[in-house]
Structures are given as structure tokens and as C-alpha cells.
Structure 1
Amino acid sequence: MFIFNKFIVKETQMILDLLFPNRCIHCNRIIDSDVLVCNVCFEQIHFTHFEFSAENNLKEKCKLLFPIENAFALMQFEQENLSRKIIHELKYRSREKTGKVLANWVTDRLDFKNAKPDLLLSVPLHPKKEKERGYNQLHLFAKTLSEHYKIPHEKDLMKRNHYSKAQALRDKKDRLEIENTFSLTKNISDQHILLIDDVFTTGNTLSTIAWEILKGENNKVSVLVMAMDE
């Protein structure tokens, strides 16, 4: 029965691929079902080439807000570039699987070396926001990283206490005001936590969470984001 069901699923997917082929989100060219962009458009993505344990622009920005160990950003989040379109596909167009693709791009580029974190913590959505979107855009991303690097992902360790509109719908002045607060669901200590978010803009969200974590004895914080806004 299991083999039969697996066959049905495979056949159904083949039919869907024929009727509704996957297309590059940038140029609309037909591409394989498990990728986001064609090879030509892939070359247009502005990857940062940061080293996790070295000094970089993201780490410098975080230092102004909270004590940080290391930092990594996958892409530059510039106006009208492809990375912005990719993030918007993930967050606002119900393409949750984009998170897995992005995670695979990270694993191709990120080596923790001797600074491997103890725990992965993705920024939580308010339950109302998660219900509206249908998923947390960071969970599949973090889960894929967790499986690759063999680091536990504690998606319920932090909760968001207040509901607010999406960052993309708020102007820069609004984002400078910290309206959302976070709290830990359990006490932690002696942990090196890797905070995961989609885009680093002002850094206020990550800073709020980081200071909650740093209340625990001997905790350390590092940061990983899909993209970094200049």
C-alpha cells in the first residue's frame, strides 16, 4: 500500500509539472521543480561571501546593538534586486519551500569551523500572523540547516507577545520603534544561540531577542540572516 501511494504521489506530481511547470521567479523561464531561478538569473544574486567567524558588515552592525559572537548574511537585500524578490516569494506568495532552497545555498557557503553554535533559534511569528500566512517562513529554512549541521532547532523557545503588521508595510521610522516584545518559554544558560531571521534591516527585532537570551547565565549570541539590507 505504501509503495502504491508513493507511486500515485509521483504520478500526480509529474502531471502537475506538465500542466503547471515551475518557472524562474525573475525571467519566467521553465526550470526544474526544486529550484527558484534559472542558471542565468542565479548569477545575478548578490551573495555576501561573508565568513561566519570573521569580521563583516553584519557583525559590525550587530555590535552597535548587542554583544555578538559571529554573524553571517547570505545575500545583499538591495532595492529592486533579485534577493528582494526571493524573500518576498517566501514571505508573501506562499512559497514555503523557498526556505529549503535558501538553506541549501547557506550550507554551500557557511562553515562554522570551531564556532559551531549549540542551538538554532528562529524569530517567531505571533500565532495570529502565522495563521494568516499559513506557516512561519523561517521554520523550513532553520529545519534544513538543523539537519545539515546537526544542531537542534528550538522553534518554540521564544514567543512573540504582540501582533503587528508586516515589516514590509511599515516605514523606516515606524520600524525604529520597538513595538514587538519577545519572551523565552523556558530558562536557558551556558548556550551559544544562533538567531535566525529573514532580513536584517534596523536590527531591532534581533536585538530585542538577543537581550532576552543574554539574561541567561553565560549565554552567547550569533546571527544568521537570509539577506542584509544596506
Structure 2
Amino acid sequence: MILDLLFPNRCLHCNRIIEAELLVCNLCFNQINFMHYDYSENNPVKEKCKLLFPVENTYALIQFEEESLSRKIIHELKYRNREITGKILAEWATERLDFKDQKPDLMASIPLHPRKLRERGYNQLHLFTETLSKFYEIPFDHQLIKRNHYAKAQALKDKQHRIDTINTFSITKPVTGKHILLIDDVFTTGNTVSSVAWEILNAGNNKVSVLVMAMDV
């Protein structure tokens, strides 16, 4: 309580004091660019994924533009030690995402390398995934996918390094005949998602769909 008085939570955009469980004030919330595309229909994420691997359905919550409030929100989650942001993003997603009759069997998020996990202290996708799992009653498996190599943040890589994702991931256990929803934070080139998707597809008679917090437009 004393810390709340000394260091009140403030809106990421206008710096107005807001409730502790919020990211932005009501006025600034309207400046978040949500992507209004259906999960089961063609959308920008699906069009890009289809060029890289066989994909069933895709969904992106917000647009990840330069100098935008959406970018501030994702950076708050990834680089400012505010894990609760993942839960808030998931709650926004549940208000907009309808799987209809194409509900996946399992959720799996892109893993961090153990060294990066120690450095950050948490995987920014876990709370997001767990919140969605509970709401939609879809099981999740944080251990299904393993990242084999330590790598610096995508934002710090040049284009060639982003493309080079060969043997970056592996599947840790037998999985076959499943429709797996692959979850990531920001969709840029799609190479990371593609690398994991091919591991899932090659592991057995599986199908892959993709859900991302944001799409770099």
C-alpha cells in the first residue's frame, strides 16, 4: 500500500495515475491498434505463414508499429520486468478471439533458452498462454519445444541473423495427430514461428495454427 502511494502505477502513454492492474488509462486505450481479423479467415499473419509452412489458422491481437503505444506495451512485457502484462494482453485477446469449431488441441509457446530465461527471470509468453488456456479450456505444454541455442534478442539482430534459424528448436517428446496452437509475442519475418512449426509438423501427423500478441506491420 505504501509503495503504491510512493510509486503509483501510471499509464504507459500519458503518464496519468491509473489502477495497479491496468497498463493504460481509458482514454489512451483507444489508441491501441487492435487487429480486427477472424482466426479462421485469411488475414495478414496467415498470408505470410502460408509462404513458409502449412498453417491452419492464425490470429494477431495488435499492430506493432514504430513509436506506437502497442510497441510500448510489448516492450513493457519483454524488457521492463512486468510479467503481468502477459495476463492483461491475454484478457484482451479473450474479448476478441473466437475459435468457433476450429479449437486447437494444445497450446505451446516459443521457448527461451535457459540462459535467457535466467537473465529475464520469466518467459514473457507463459502467463499469456496460461491465461488463454484457462479461459478456452485448452491444455498447454511449456516443455514441448526446446530452444537449442542461446541467441540475442530479435530486436538486436540484423536481417541475416533473423533468417538463420536452422536447428534452433527441437521437440522434446512424441506428439502426433494433434492440432497445436503455436504462441509467440511479435510476428516479424515469421522465420522463428516457421522453424518451430516445421519441427511440430515433422514430428507426426500434426497441424499448426499461430497466435501472436502483435504483428510487425
TM superposition score category, shorter chain reference: over 0.9
Corresponding residue for 1:81?
68
How much has 1:102 moved relative to structure 2?
A: 0.2
Corresponding residue for 1:8?
none
Among candidates 188, 196, 212, match of residue 199 of structure 2: 212
Corresponding residue for 2:175?
188
How much has 1:25 moved relative to structure 2?
A: 1.0
Distance (whole Å) between structure 2 residues aligned to residue 174 and residue 225 of structure 1:
21
Distance (whole Å) between structure 1 residues aligned to residue 133 and residue 3 of structure 2:
30
How much has 1:104 moved relative to structure 2?
A: 0.3
Distance (whole Å) between structure 1 residues aligned to residue 72 and residue 158 of structure 2:
19
Task: Give the aligned CA root-mean-square deviation in angstroms.
Answer: 1.0
1:19 aligns with 2:37: no
**TM-score, structure 2 normalization:** 0.97
**TM-score, structure 1 normalization:** 0.92
Deviates more, 1:177-186 or 1:211-220: 177-186
How much has 1:180 moved relative to structure 2?
A: 6.0
Residue correspondence of structure 1 range 167-206 to structure 2 within 5 A: 167-178=154-165, 181-206=168-193
Corresponding residue for 1:103?
90
User: What is the CA deviation profile of residues 30-70 of structure 1, one whole-angstrom value per residue up to 9, with x for unaligned ones?
Assistant: 00111100111111111001100111111000000000000
Contact (CA 8 Å) 1:163, 1:180: kept in 2 or not?
A: no
Q: Give 3-state SS (helix, strand or coil) of 2:203's partner.
A: coil
How much has 1:179 moved relative to structure 2?
A: 5.7
Aligned residues: 217
| Unpaired segments ≥5 residues, structure 1 | 1-13
1:159 aligns with 2:120: no
Contact (CA 8 Å) 1:124, 1:159: kept in 2 or not?
A: yes
User: What is the CA deviation profile of residues 159-179 of structure 1, one whole-angstrom value per residue up to 9, with x for unaligned ones?
Assistant: 000001111111233212226
Residue correspondence of structure 1 range 107-118 to structure 2 within 5 A: 107-118=94-105
| Unpaired segments ≥5 residues, structure 2 | none
Distance (whole Å) between structure 1 residues aligned to residue 162 and residue 111 of structure 2:
17
Rg comparison, structure with higher value? 1
